[in-house]
Structure 1
Amino acid sequence: MTWVTSAQGSGYGVEHLPYGVFRVGDGAPRIGVRIGDLVFDLAGAEAADLVLAGGALALPTLNTFLALGRPQWMAVRQRITELLTESAHRAAVEPLLVPLDEVQMELPFEVADYVDFYSSEQHASNVGQIFRPGQPPLLPNWKHLPIGYHGRAGTVVVSGTPVVRPQGQRPGPDGPVYGPSARLDIEAEVGFVVGVPSPLGSRVAAADFADHVFGVVLVNDWSARDIQAWEYQPLGPFLGKSFATSVAAWVTPLDALRHAFVPAPDQDPPVAGYLRDEPHLGLDLRLTVNWNGEPVSEPPFAGMYWTPAQQLAHLTVNGASLRTGDLYASGTVSGPRRDQVGSFLELTWGGAEPITVAGAERTFLADGDTVTITATAPGPDGGTITLGEVTGLVLPAR
Structure 2
Amino acid sequence: MTDSTHSPDLKSWVSSADRHADFPIQNLPLGIFSPKDEGPRAGTAIGDKVLDLWAVAELGLLPRADVVPLENPTLNAFFALPKADRMAFRQRLSELLSDEQYREKVEPLLYDAADCTMHLPARIGDYTDFYVGIHHAMNIGKQFRPDNPLLPNYKYVPIGYHGRASSIRVSGEPVTRPNGQRKAPDEDAPVRGPSRRLDYELELGVWIGPGNALGEPIAIADAPDHVAGFGLLNDWSARDLQGWEYQPLGPFLAKNFHSTVSPWVVTAEAMAPFRKAQAPRPEGDPAPLDYLSDAGDRKHGALALELDTFLLTAKMRDAGEAPHRLSQSAAEHMYWTVAQIVTHHASNGCDLRPGDLLGTGTISGPNDDSLGSLMEMSKGGKEPITLPNGETRGFLEDGDEIILKATAKADGAVPIGFGECRAVVRPAP
Indicate the TM-score class for this superposition, using the shorter chain for normalisation.
over 0.9
Distance in 2 (CA, whole Å) between partners of 1:91 and 1:343 is 48
The answer on whether the counterparts of 1:53 and 1:72 sit within 8 Å (CA) in structure 2 is no
Q: Deviations over 1:281-322 (max 9, x none)?
A: 211110110011110101111121100000001000110001
Query: What displacement does 1:258 show?
Result: 1.1
Q: Secondary structure at the match of 1:81?
A: helix
Distance in 2 (CA, whole Å) between partners of 1:133 and 1:317 is 30
Q: In structure 2, what residue type is equivalent to 1:56?
A: V
List aligned pairs for 1:174-253, cutoff 5 A.
Answer: 174-253=188-267
Query: What displacement does 1:13 show?
Result: 1.2
- 1:298 matched residue in structure 2: 328
Q: Secondary structure at the match of 2:132?
A: coil
Identity %: 45
Q: In structure 1, what residue type is equivalent to 2:306?
A: R
1:276 aligns with 2:293: yes
Query: What displacement does 1:380 show?
Result: 7.1
- Structure 1 unmatched ranges of 5 or more: none
The CA RMSD measured in Å over matched residues stands at 1.2
Q: Secondary structure at the match of 2:169?
A: strand
Query: What displacement does 1:337 show?
Result: 0.4
> Which of 409, 413, 428 does residue 378 from structure 1 map onto?
409
Q: In structure 1, what residue type is equivalent to 2:354?
A: T
Q: In structure 2, what residue type is equivalent to 1:248?
A: S
Q: Secondary structure at the match of 2:183?
A: strand
Q: Deviations over 1:327-383 (max 9, x none)?
A: 001100001001101011001110111111232111100000000000100257342
List aligned pairs for 1:1-398, cutoff 5 A.
Answer: 1-10=11-20, 11-54=22-65, 56-59=67-70, 60-130=73-143, 132-172=144-184, 173-267=187-281, 268-279=285-296, 280=298, 281-292=301-312, 293-357=323-387, 358-378=389-409, 381-398=412-429
The answer on whether the counterparts of 1:169 and 1:177 sit within 8 Å (CA) in structure 2 is yes
Q: Secondary structure at the match of 1:309?
A: helix
Query: What displacement does 1:27 show?
Result: 1.8
Distance in 2 (CA, whole Å) between partners of 1:71 and 1:382 is 22
Q: In structure 2, what residue type is equivalent to 1:222?
A: W
Farther off after superposition, 370-379 or 160-169: 370-379
Query: What displacement does 1:266 show?
Result: 2.1
Distance in 1 (CA, whole Å) between partners of 2:244 and 2:366 is 27
Query: What displacement does 1:234 show?
Result: 1.4
Distance in 2 (CA, whole Å) between partners of 1:17 and 1:287 is 19
Distance in 2 (CA, whole Å) between partners of 1:21 and 1:334 is 30
TM-score by length of 1: 0.97
Distance in 2 (CA, whole Å) between partners of 1:375 and 1:313 is 25
Q: Secondary structure at the match of 2:60?
A: coil
Distance in 1 (CA, whole Å) between partners of 2:411 and 2:74 is 29
Query: What displacement does 1:388 show?
Result: 2.1
Residues 337, 379 of structure 1: alpha-carbon distance in 2 compared, 3 angstrom cutoff: closer
Distance in 2 (CA, whole Å) between partners of 1:371 and 1:336 is 21
Query: What displacement does 1:25 show?
Result: 2.9
Query: What displacement does 1:278 show?
Result: 2.1
Distance in 1 (CA, whole Å) between partners of 2:48 and 2:159 is 39
- 2:7 matched residue in structure 1: none
Query: What displacement does 1:91 show?
Result: 0.2
The answer on whether the counterparts of 2:28 and 2:46 sit within 8 Å (CA) in structure 1 is yes
Q: In structure 2, what residue type is equivalent to 1:4?
A: V
The answer on whether the counterparts of 1:288 and 1:297 sit within 8 Å (CA) in structure 2 is yes
Distance in 2 (CA, whole Å) between partners of 1:388 and 1:224 is 26
The answer on whether the counterparts of 2:58 and 2:64 sit within 8 Å (CA) in structure 1 is no
The answer on whether the counterparts of 1:47 and 1:58 sit within 8 Å (CA) in structure 2 is no
Q: Deviations over 1:99-154 (max 9, x none)?
A: 10110001111111100000011110111011x23440000000001000000010
Q: Deviations over 1:14-69 (max 9, x none)?
A: 11000011002332111000000000110111111111141633341111111122
Q: In structure 2, what residue type is equivalent to 1:127?
A: I
Q: In structure 1, what residue type is equivalent to 2:290?
A: G
Farther off after superposition, 337-346 or 25-34: 25-34
Distance in 1 (CA, whole Å) between partners of 2:158 and 2:69 is 37
- Structure 2 unmatched ranges of 5 or more: 1-10, 313-322
Q: In structure 1, what residue type is equivalent to 2:46?
A: I
Distance in 2 (CA, whole Å) between partners of 1:359 and 1:397 is 25
Distance in 1 (CA, whole Å) between partners of 2:128 and 2:272 is 24
Q: Secondary structure at the match of 1:207?
A: coil
